[in-house]
Chain A
């Protein structure tokens, strides 16, 4: 029963008026058809009633004792034979029950609407679903990743348990040198350790890829640092590497400056000399302190700058260790700590919060 007003309903009304001339003689077929038409008509006017008063009027016009459509139809009953009358009466009863059901349902519907408008306190809280979220550090990693993807970088991964060769030797670390002091290492055996940085992925990538190489390697790294407010024995790092013919320090500066502008919003950057055994020249990149805008505050130790990443041109010894011709190819690399960036961004005072997995903390920073 399509309740769409229009042709159908016009047709049914015509049929109805034709068949319900009171006291007119009719056949049983005509009578049953008239009852069906009445059913359709009833459904339409009940759906159309949008207020209690409207629904009352519809009830009256359908089931009213004197002038209701059904009563008027009943007035044709005497013209049928007694046998026919029994069937016709059953049809009338079925119709009456159906109409009453429709009226009741509609009444309930109208009541809910009215109740929502008048009796329900609409300031009561909404029904919620649990909302999931990625970790703040993952959010930062994925944001970094999306910027570098635009610049033709793809993702590479490497193992967390590494050999000394991949972690140190191939990366031009002098044996037993103060440069190692930054890399207090957790060892699994004489030669196997938990990688202290993601830089071994540089070597693994260069060994297996013909330039042009542009990769980003996010991952966990390990240091033998006691767990306190600013140190953790495991943290995330993200490494970048670009190797090709004709890659220069200008490309390093340009790409990382572009990254900083995208990630932090247009910002001032500064490159200052640094030292990593596997890059030469090496540079640390700072961005203007987002809190004081360069004028100096406690979070930038009054320098006006925040250290963001270490970078440099890949040392020729490293290219050679990975089997690339260092006269033909040049490259640059960087590494940064998404955890530290997340701490800066969300003003997290204690690194341990990133590991605790306290539901309240994760919910606070959910996005």
Chain B
């Protein structure tokens, strides 16, 4: 809502500067987002006194004047105005000023006399049409004062962000009410400049009277009209045009401007029809007809349907109720008789209609939030009066009034004990009553309580809690203490999933990955949920895997010539199943990671680092899974499907490690991806690790090079070795794999390091030799594996 500082002053005496007013409104009821000083095109104009005025020697209509503009030096100004009088103050545009028309003033000679700048007329300043002479200023100001500072021509626009529950603040009157309450001033209706005599048009042919019928009483709960005849449509008076400009509306004509004046001034949208253009002498408020068409004021032809309320004449729709008027009955310069409509329309109906039609207007905005039905009659009279003042004419008969009078508001009990409980502060009942009364609430004190009747324009106040908010607001939020008081800590434990997410993040960061937080939308997906109203087709589905979106992020980096990409994400994926109870898709928190490019940053000692490979991915997968499921058995099982490994946690399939097939440029190295469901296994409890004594006895290492058939996995060899080695085997590591010279086809040499240790004594060579021999014989008998002869 755009509010004019000057317009607000029509409603309440304000001795606050615009910026102070901004702070007051923001602290009290609605945030002022911006303060725009208007008429900055007059910023260079100053007040100046003409000290001398002499006739120009070479002209009979020019004056040569000496002007005091407060600088201490007198300026020579040639002036053609008949009304220049020495000793009088005038607006003066010094050399260098750019006037509203775009004229830049320079020092020049006029018929031989030097002229520095210009004394200005009202028209030259864009302040009206009077060009008869320069504008004599009857103000108490020193020469040199800024014209904008001393004359009420400037204005300041406050851009107010009105909250959805406060439609009463969508008007100057409403904002002024809050200002009056805060400053202890009186709220009053504007005093308009005395009516300029407007000559009524002579009408030759009689105009029919209008019959009003309201069929759609649900769409238009209250509908009032009045007719003003013999108006003279023309330009608005200056004051009205200035008001329009100040709120950012265009001045159209006196009659149309009055309707907008009512909207911005009082929050009540009103519409004026040209009576002569209404067919059949009728106004019918009815539902639209399916397929019915209307050309609206913006020149667009719109198709209506039977959910919309329209204002029709005997033949066709003439306006879409509460949204926009029709071209057919528009008030134009030829209009002589008008029908003024002041109504309330069903907010939900208006909302549905403007959404369907895709047209939002100042009127629909207000009707959607609700207007004050109780004020309609009063405002109809006010509007009719204002039209007669600015456009002449006379009201015909009495206004029509259809619909129910609004029900009186019911009183609400406000307990002072409850106020203290919610707000944490004791506020005297009398203080609450005084504050509430200042914004139109009727209050009756009943012992410790107040019985409060909210005003009709505050339909948002329906119960005690809303009254408590009013009390807090009127006290001022700043008046409440901000001292921490004792509290009881919350009784809930942390969500376990959040702990897992945090551990996983730490593991990924330790590996050198950067966290990504992309959006979970994907272009398509088998078994993926589709968003019913997606923003775009390429983000219409919800992902079923984190790698789906991470892969796109890798491609994004490839597209920017970045080949070293290491990303992870902890985020939600959506399963295809639907929860039976809520009908919502199942969700799970997953972690995804992608690695590609150099294994470490290039260094001059190693200009071409090796690339990440599947073994890095396997290691990363294991450390992520161990972080997510502390104490659980994590395994990478070779995958039968497209992926490389299945990640299993306590025997449950929880994720996978894959080589990703991306839209990669030729220079990119392979991309590996890991995905792990953080909700695959429920951890029974947080197992903490246990201490084991640090060994004091020496270890013995034995290396075995074994010839292993290609179809026998290292894993199964390890199982056999462990079994045969017994308790003394402390660790078992494959440290080399070799195929080629000296190794028969179909075999490979796997070199194993076995470390033996006894907790209490030094092992003897013989013991270990015996143990190794046993291992070798079991390997041979179980797997047919022999030692490689050197």
With contact pairs A157-B495, A271-B477 given, residues A192 and B583 touching in the complex (Cβ less than 8 Å): yes
Q: Does B144 contact A (CB under 8 A)?
A: no
Quick check: B484 and A132 within 8 Å, CB to CB? no
Contacts of B608 in A (CB 8 A): none
Q: Does A253 contact B (CB under 8 A)?
A: yes
With contact pairs A161-B585, A220-B572 given, residues A155 and B495 touching in the complex (Cβ less than 8 Å): yes
Partner of B484, one of A138, A154, A254: A254
Interface positions, chain B 517-553, Cβ under 8 Å from A, are: 517-521, 529-535, 539, 542, 553
Contacts of A1 in B (CB 8 A): none
Quick check: B519 and A157 within 8 Å, CB to CB? no
B565 to chain A: closest residue by CB = A359
With contact pairs A132-B511, A275-B165 given, residues A163 and B584 touching in the complex (Cβ less than 8 Å): yes
Partner of A273, one of B29, B468, B530, B565: B29
Quick check: B512 and A315 within 8 Å, CB to CB? no
Quick check: B351 and A176 within 8 Å, CB to CB? yes
Q: Of A3-11, A21-29, A97-105, A227-235, which binds chain B?
A: A227-235
Interface positions, chain A 176-192, Cβ under 8 Å from B, are: 176-179, 181-182, 186-189, 191-192
Partner of A356, one of B26, B556, B564: B556
Q: Does B28 contact A (CB under 8 A)?
A: yes
With contact pairs A129-B600, A236-B517, A274-B163 given, residues A152 and B490 touching in the complex (Cβ less than 8 Å): yes
Quick check: A161 and B519 within 8 Å, CB to CB? no
Quick check: A232 and B519 within 8 Å, CB to CB? yes
Interface positions, chain A 137-183, Cβ under 8 Å from B, are: 137-138, 151-157, 159-163, 176-179, 181-182
A363 to chain B: closest residue by CB = B514
Taken together as a complex, chains A and B put the C-alpha atoms of A192 and B566 apart, in Å, by 35
Quick check: A258 and B484 within 8 Å, CB to CB? yes
Q: Does B505 contact A (CB under 8 A)?
A: yes
Quick check: B512 and A131 within 8 Å, CB to CB? yes
Q: Does A257 contact B (CB under 8 A)?
A: yes
Q: Does A124 contact B (CB under 8 A)?
A: yes
B365 to chain A: closest residue by CB = A178
Contacts of B484 in A (CB 8 A): 251, 254-255, 258
B705-734 CB contact bits vs A (8 Å, 1 = yes)? 000000000000000000000000000000
Cβ distance A251 to chain B, nearest Cβ, rounded Å:
6
Taken together as a complex, chains A and B put the C-alpha atoms of A358 and B231 apart, in Å, by 67
Interface positions, chain B 637-662, Cβ under 8 Å from A, are: none
B491 to chain A: closest residue by CB = A212
With contact pairs A130-B566, A224-B535, A355-B519 given, residues A283 and B510 touching in the complex (Cβ less than 8 Å): no
B362-391 CB contact bits vs A (8 Å, 1 = yes)? 000000110000000000000000000000
Interface positions, chain A 277-326, Cβ under 8 Å from B, are: 280-284, 301-303, 313, 315-316
Cβ distance A205 to chain B, nearest Cβ, rounded Å:
7
Q: Does B738 contact A (CB under 8 A)?
A: no
Q: Does B587 contact A (CB under 8 A)?
A: yes
Quick check: B487 and A214 within 8 Å, CB to CB? yes
Q: Does A211 contact B (CB under 8 A)?
A: yes
Taken together as a complex, chains A and B put the C-alpha atoms of A280 and B488 apart, in Å, by 23
Taken together as a complex, chains A and B put the C-alpha atoms of A136 and B543 apart, in Å, by 23
Q: Does A209 contact B (CB under 8 A)?
A: yes
* Known A242-B490, A249-B423; further 8 A-B contacts with Cβ < 8 A: A127-B605, A132-B514, A135-B514, A179-B164, A253-B482, A257-B482, A357-B517, A359-B562
Q: Give me the 10 closest cross-chain CB pairs, A-B, nearest first.
A: A248-B424, A152-B489, A130-B512, A250-B424, A214-B490, A281-B469, A132-B509, A275-B163, A135-B515, A357-B516
Instruction: Report which A residues bind B (CB closer than 8 A).
Output: 124-125, 127-135, 137-138, 151-157, 159-163, 176-179, 181-182, 186-189, 191-192, 194, 205, 209-215, 220, 224-227, 232-234, 236, 242, 244, 246-251, 253-255, 257-258, 269-275, 280-284, 301-303, 313, 315-316, 330, 354-360, 362-363, 366
Instruction: Report which B residues bind A (CB closer than 8 A).
Output: 22, 26-31, 33-35, 163-166, 348, 351-352, 368-369, 421-425, 463, 465-466, 468-469, 472-473, 477-478, 480-485, 487-495, 497-498, 505, 508-521, 529-535, 539, 542, 553, 556-557, 560, 562, 564-567, 571-572, 574, 582-585, 587, 600-601, 603-605
Can you spell out 9 A-B residue pairs with CB atoms less than 8 angstroms apart?
Answer: A135-B516, A137-B517, A155-B495, A220-B571, A234-B520, A249-B472, A272-B26, A316-B465, A357-B553
